[in-house]
Chain A
């Protein structure tokens, strides 16, 4: 319990509470089942994307190709489903196969990112920027800028259905986060990852296989992008090259808010979980208050700067 509730996480919880109280005073409607179920439906996607962003950030990199990778994989998944399932029919095996394809594509993208980063010693930021262009280019080329839509009912359940009143994707999100917590805290891979981030040279000298570690990190990040992509595509019931373009900045915002040090080394899954709750409460609240969407974009920028300023001050 002590570990889950460190200083940073306590601050995030307090901020979330302040946020909820503020929005409730401004608009009592905020405190309703509706808004909280909408929050619970939004959190999984953005949360999983942020977890995928956190992993490369822990080793001092960043992944700017997450959204492009998600879009390409959902387009391929959608094409596979359309080719193998007649309209109006259901086929669970094909659906499962297409989900596997989606996650595999994203993992493969992670693999290539990792290989280029570690083999050619190029900053992850530039590699993933190039990768993002390539992936978006392929997606645009395939779809000609259009949208693929219409999934079978059983697939739409992932992003729209609920089990015992809890949204299905929320359950998936909790499971995926739990798995990541276990990986980060109980396996040697997790320990190595955090060590590498805090001091690359020392980790290299301690005999850790740097190549394997970085490639694995990017592949794991890719797998989480894949899960997020499945949920997102299912919720929207469509796939396109330009979907969720504004998520990239939000994932970076949440990661910074959740205590991930962009220079590497620091950051924990629990921090991200609290930060994503705070972010989504804020986003939903601003939406209910009908704040101009461009002001919201500017506000997100301000929040990134504030989070960075607070952290820099604390470290000094």
Chain B
């Protein structure tokens, strides 16, 4: 019985709907491109190129579940990427060191966001707009936007396997870590609690500061990791490569079905969101739609998904009320 209701719940969930959309879209794209879109080469290309933003999206998921939003992540990623690249150019190092540097730099900047969000009683959007501009402005002032390239051999000589490991492997690790934290640790449950009802969470003795520190720190660390992947793929560190692409990442998380006011969202949903954005962008290129229309398509998909989510919530409430009245 219990098992059956759980199954029913899954079939009615947003994630299931999204999964159907992804499958249908894959079939349609495969038909439209004569099978080009499902060739292994294309799939691997797609996965590697979207894994950087995917990792960043996983970090964003935490922030949105906790009831906030962070749009400073690309500026944070740019800083992490620059520090990592500078270290490689001057000191050499190896993969472990640069992972630590980029994660550490990202997490550090994330913690600043966390303290500000915790102390100031204004929407997180406004705070992160401010920090985004501060970080970006200082970054551009001190680097003049110069691109860094010419990295040591261990970083620049890519093989098929290392490429997959750094990009898709990191994404998989990020997804698994996120899933574990959200579902299996106390901190994960606290993140949901703070997003669902911050007052109630406080009364239950949850330290909101620690949740904020964790969430924004994690988002920063994810941004730093994404920056590393991006740097590995393009073999250069540049601010423009990241800054300004905030919407692509937010689209992944939002399409993944986070509750739009906090308290809900799942790693599986975000994974589907990542796949959907990747499919749409990649599919449009294969079908030959001008890239100028990309924003329109993704934006429209987002707005439609909002309407469907909102409509489902309202319909469920109505149903509840009806059942309540019948009883």
- A262 with B126: CB separation less than 8 A: yes
- A138 with B126: CB separation less than 8 A: no
Residues of A within 8 Å of B141, CB to CB, are 292, 294-295, 298
Mask: chain A, 283-316; 1 = CB below 8 Å from B; 0 = not: 0000000001011111111101100110110010
Given contact pairs A126-B254, A308-B126, A263 touches B121 in the complex (Cβ within 8 A): yes
Residues of B within 8 Å of A292, CB to CB, are 141
CB distance from B234 to the nearest CB of A (A): 22
- A295–B134 Cα distance when bound, in Å, is 8
Q: Identify the stretch in A28-36, A90-98, A139-147, A200-208 within 8 Å (CB) of chain B at 4 or more residues.
A: A139-147
- A130 with B302: CB separation less than 8 A: yes
Q: Identify the stretch in A77-85, A114-122, A183-191 within 8 Å (CB) of chain B at 4 or more residues.
A: A114-122
- A125–B70 Cα distance when bound, in Å, is 12
- A249 with B133: CB separation less than 8 A: yes
- B137 with A297: CB separation less than 8 A: yes
Residues of B within 8 Å of A132, CB to CB, are 247, 299
Q: Is the CB of B69 closer than 8 A to any CB of chain A?
A: yes
Residues of A within 8 Å of B302, CB to CB, are 129-130, 133
Mask: chain B, 306-327; 1 = CB below 8 Å from A; 0 = not: 1101110110000000000000
Given contact pairs A301-B130, A312-B122, A120 touches B307 in the complex (Cβ within 8 A): yes
Q: Is the CB of B136 closer than 8 A to any CB of chain A?
A: yes
Given contact pairs A131-B299, A133-B299, A301 touches B133 in the complex (Cβ within 8 A): yes
Contact of B314 among A121, A123, A125, A129 (CB under 8 A): A121
Interface centre among A144, A262, A308, A315 (most CB of B within 10 A): A308
Residues of B within 8 Å of A129, CB to CB, are 247, 250, 302
Q: Is the CB of B149 closer than 8 A to any CB of chain A?
A: no
Residues of A within 8 Å of B300, CB to CB, are 134, 137
Q: Is the CB of B120 closer than 8 A to any CB of chain A?
A: yes
- A163–B132 Cα distance when bound, in Å, is 41
- B126 with A298: CB separation less than 8 A: no
Contact of A144 among B132, B137, B290, B298 (CB under 8 A): B290
- Whose C-beta in chain A lies nearest to the C-beta of B317? A121
Residues of B within 8 Å of A302, CB to CB, are 130, 134
Mask: chain A, 39-51; 1 = CB below 8 Å from B; 0 = not: 0000000000000
Number of interface residues of A (CB under 8 A): 46
Contact of A133 among B120, B132, B247, B292 (CB under 8 A): B247
Q: Is the CB of A136 closer than 8 A to any CB of chain B?
A: yes
Number of A-B residue pairs with CB-CB distance less than 8 Å in the complex they form: 148
Given contact pairs A144-B290, A294-B141, A133 touches B298 in the complex (Cβ within 8 A): yes
Q: Is the CB of A256 closer than 8 A to any CB of chain B?
A: yes
Mask: chain B, 218-233; 1 = CB below 8 Å from A; 0 = not: 0000000000000000
Number of interface residues of B (CB under 8 A): 48
Q: Is the CB of A12 closer than 8 A to any CB of chain B?
A: no
Residues of A within 8 Å of B296, CB to CB, are 133-134, 136-138, 140-141
- A125 with B137: CB separation less than 8 A: no
- A262 with B129: CB separation less than 8 A: no
Q: List, sorted by A's number, 16 A–B pairs whose CB atoms are closer than 8 Å.
A: A120-B314, A121-B313, A127-B306, A129-B302, A130-B306, A137-B292, A137-B298, A138-B296, A256-B122, A294-B138, A294-B140, A301-B133, A304-B129, A305-B134, A309-B120, A312-B122
Please give the residue numbers on chain B whose beta carbons come within 8 Å of chain A beta carbons, in ascending order.
69, 116, 119-123, 125-127, 129-141, 247, 250-251, 254, 260-261, 290, 292-300, 302-303, 306-307, 309-311, 313-314
Please give the residue numbers on chain A whose beta carbons come within 8 Å of chain B beta carbons, in ascending order.
62, 116, 119-123, 125-127, 129-138, 140-141, 144-145, 249, 252, 256, 262-263, 292, 294-302, 304-305, 308-309, 311-312, 315
Q: A132-B247, A134-B296, A305-B130 known; 18 other A-B pairs, CB under 8 Å?
A: A62-B123, A116-B303, A116-B306, A122-B310, A126-B254, A130-B299, A133-B251, A137-B293, A137-B295, A138-B296, A256-B126, A294-B140, A297-B136, A298-B134, A301-B135, A301-B137, A304-B129, A311-B122
